[in-house]
Amino acid sequence: MRILIIIFTLFQLVACNQKTQKDSKSFDRSINEPTRSMSLLKGLVLRKGDKDAYYELQMAYLDLTYPEEFLLYAMTMANKYDFPEAYFDVYNCIVSINRLDIKSIDQKSASLAVEYLLIASKKNHEQAQEIVNKYSVNNEVADKRALIIQINK
């Protein structure tokens, strides 16, 4: 009888330990972690312009080491599917590549960033409109590099 009590007690301890490990793993998951696989999301964005997949992918890239890799998906959604949010994301990705040393941004990248910012603003993206209005951004600005540096000080 004593052996049965010991076996039963050990069984309970093991079961509780496994349950605790499962519970702790559920807390390790980031709120930005996608519910679908990254490869599925990427495919849906690139081939179908799926907005829900785009938003899920956008959130997932917040946790990745190189969130600027999202630029490909943002450009595809902007250029191929004319998605207003994506125009601003292109601007944001270009800027974030140089965020640690914004003064290192080159003129071509700055011009591209300004171009996408202006398109996002014209498509009523609220944050883009705020930046455009605050810094008087337009195509007539000759030194777009200096403008990007000023915006991102």
DSSP track, 54-111: HHHHHHHHTTSS-GGGGHHHHHHHHHTT--HHHHHHHHHHHHHHTGGGGGG--HHHHH
Question: Is pTM, for the whole model, over 0.85?
Answer: no
* Contact present, 42 and 57 (Cβ < 8 Å): yes
| Residue range 46-92, pLDDT digits in tens | 999 999 999 999 999 988 888 889 999 999 999 999 999 999 999 99
Q: What is the pLDDT of residue 67?
A: 80
CATH of domain 30-151: 1.25.40
d(CA 130, CA 19) in angstroms, rounded, equals 49
Which H or E run contains 115?
A: helix 107-122
Q: What is the pLDDT of residue 11?
A: 61
Domain range annotation of the chain: 30-151
Q: What is the pLDDT of residue 5?
A: 61
* Contact present, 38 and 60 (Cβ < 8 Å): yes
Q: What is the pLDDT of residue 24?
A: 47
The contacts of residue 69 (CB under 8 Å, 6+ apart) are: 61
For the chain, the average pLDDT equals 87
d(CA 149, CA 132) in angstroms, rounded, equals 14
